[in-house]
Amino acid sequence: MENHNLIDRYFENSLSPKEQKQFNNLLQNDLKFKAEFQFQKDLKQVIEVNQKEGLRETVSKIEALAQKDSRMMMLPKKWIVAASLLLITGLATWTVKSTYFPSNDAIYEEYFQLERNTVQPVVRGESINTIEYKAFAAYEARDFYKAINLFNSVQNPEDSNILFYKGLCFLAVNKPENAIALFNQLTASELNTVQTEGLSDKANWYLALAYLKNNETDKTIEQLTTIVNRPPPGYKKNEAEKILNYLK
């Protein structure tokens, strides 16, 4: 992994134990790496403090920081200039990808929302004793573990709607691996012919979020790209494009 990618992943809080050890070693023994890391850290702080002040003043502070800090002399001049230009054009990695460095978890929390129950609407005051009705009632009550158990006990647990809402329950209780297995079933080509209209597209979206929650970034990008490339309007197409901008 290139050194600048290690720094990116540090600010994203996504370093593996092996990468963290490599990062610590470079920080202690590689002066150029240490200078680049410190510059990015200082730059992030400057942006956060001055984000309301206007780009011209912010860039001036960045240039002043570079001139007075001897550590910056170790960095190529073009690197500092590039940082300023990126800020001006609004394309800086630091401004797009974080507070400026959002983690996968932060992106997930922003975009994950439970789907409304449209299969077995629960009406207050009704008393229906089917397991399926009770499962969806538990889902609406946000009693997700109970809902999972009930979905497992319905007459046809392999029904596409059951698989879909059970997958949502697993995401809600922070079990993305289980959700991935279910959404993969729903997006498999051999099952698409039996999907409720639009359900396969929704499963693709939540599969991408499940990969994101599970820190499988490459698979997330692949899944989101599939969504973006589908004909319009496409379920969550705009949201998929926005997340891709964070991850690429």
Domains present along the chain, CATH in parentheses: 3-95 (no CATH), 107-247 (1.25.40.10)
Q: What is the pLDDT of residue 61?
A: 64
Q: Which helix (H) or strand (E) holds 60?
A: helix 55-68
pLDDT digits (tens, 9 = 90+) for 41-93: 877 776 666 554 555 565 566 666 656 655 555 555 545 555 555 555 554 44
pLDDT digits (tens, 9 = 90+) for 92-149: 444 444 444 578 888 899 899 999 888 876 656 556 778 999 999 999 999 999 999 9
Q: What is the pLDDT of residue 29?
A: 87
Note if the pTM is more than 0.75: no
DSSP 99-165: SSS--HHHHHHHH--PPP--SS---TT-----HHHHHHHHHHTT-HHHHHHHHHHSS-TT-HHHHHH
User: In this model, does residue 184 exceed pLDDT 90?
Assistant: yes
Q: How many residues does the chain have?
A: 248
pLDDT digits (tens, 9 = 90+) for 150-171: 999 998 888 999 999 999 999 9
